[in-house]
Amino acid sequence: MLDLPFLPFGVFLGSLGFACVVFVSAWCQHWRGGFAWDGGARTFNWHPVLMVTGMVVLYGAAALVYRLPPTWRGPKLPWKVLHGTLTLVAFGLAVLGLAAVFRFHNDRGTPNMYSLHSWLGLVTVLLFSCQWVAGFGAFLLPWAPAWLRALYKPVHVFFGSIILMLSVASCVSGINEKLFFSLKNGTTEYKRLPAEAVFANTLGLLILLFGVLVLGALARPSWKRPDADFPDSCQVPALPQGH
């Protein structure tokens, strides 16, 4: 397999993430009426924008912090702080996104938490919050012992990938659900594939591609920080060779 350098890939992935944010913002602005915080339909429009920006793009960027070659040398603490800050901002945007959709539902008298999309999204955000608290306690607090960091690190990495997968699934299912609800009652039906459906479906594919590429980058061995450079790694020393 061709061993590509990470930086060009990172530039492409950053452009793809930016495209996801632009597409979801354009969809809500052009076809869904723009943005407001008055409890109406324009309040709901904050939900997809904030969720895609936070739970997919920023979260994916945070997951790849340690794939940057500069992080392989020198103190690791600044990169830990960057990783934690990006994920915290992503979580904050997700909370605002949830607040937008709950306000929209409550002002219209619409029940909350009845669809598979809503269940999946809430589970994702709850897992995300647990992941952040556990990661903060294990990797940023100075009194966390090295054995605890080594024990928790693979768990943290595993659930990080799971949360990203759930975030992508939540966003894609949410786009589909919104199109089913919106493209009727005077608008062109979804099954006739109007321009809005094509645009939003393309957004879903971009989000899916972004998530797949992030997971692929996380799994690529040549882009991982060498274990020897991890002060809190659990690397087993080599056994002495017999004579």
What CATH number does residue 215 fall under? 1.20.120.1770
pLDDT at 224: 87
In this predicted structure, what is the pLDDT of residue 234? Answer: 35
Residue 156 lies in a domain: yes
What gap in Å lies between CA 167 and CA 164, rounded to an integer?
A: 5
**Closest by CA position to 9, among listed 238, 183, 214:** 214
- Domain assignment present for residue 44? The answer is yes
Q: Mean pLDDT across the stretch 118-142?
A: 95
Q: For 105-118, b where at least 16 C-beta lie within 10 A, e where not — what string?
A: beeeeeeeeeeebb
How long, in residues, is the chain? 243
Rounded Cα–Cα distance for residues 231 and 190 (Å): 54
Q: How confident is the model at residue 45 (pLDDT cuts 50, 70, 90)?
A: very high
Whether residue 48 is contained in a domain is answered as yes
Q: Which residue segment(s) compose the domain that 213 sits in?
A: 7-223
pLDDT-above-70 percentage for the chain: 92
Q: Is residue 238 part of a domain?
A: no
**pLDDT digits over 193-230, tens only?**
999 999 999 999 999 999 999 999 999 988 888 764 44
- Cα 64 to Cα 9, 26, 161, 198: the distances in Å are 11, 27, 11, 30
The tens digit of pLDDT for each residue in 70-80 reads 888 888 899 99
Residue 147 falls inside a structural domain: yes
Q: Is 1 within the bounds of a domain?
A: no
Going by C-alpha positions, the residue among 207, 211, 205, 212 that lies closest to residue 49 is 207
In this prediction, residues 142-166 reach a mean pLDDT of 93
In a domain, 107, yes or no: yes
| φ, ψ for residue 71, nearest 5 deg | -75, -10
Contact 20, 210 (CB under 8 A): yes
* pTM score: 0.90
Domain count, the chain: 1
Q: Which residue has the tokens 């975030």?
A: 167
Domain presence at residue 83: yes
Q: How far apart are CA 25 and CA 61, in angstroms?
A: 19
- Does residue 238 surpass a pLDDT of 60? no
Tell me: the pLDDT tens digits for 85-99? 999 999 999 999 999
Asked if the model's pLDDT at residue 235 lies above 80, the reply is no
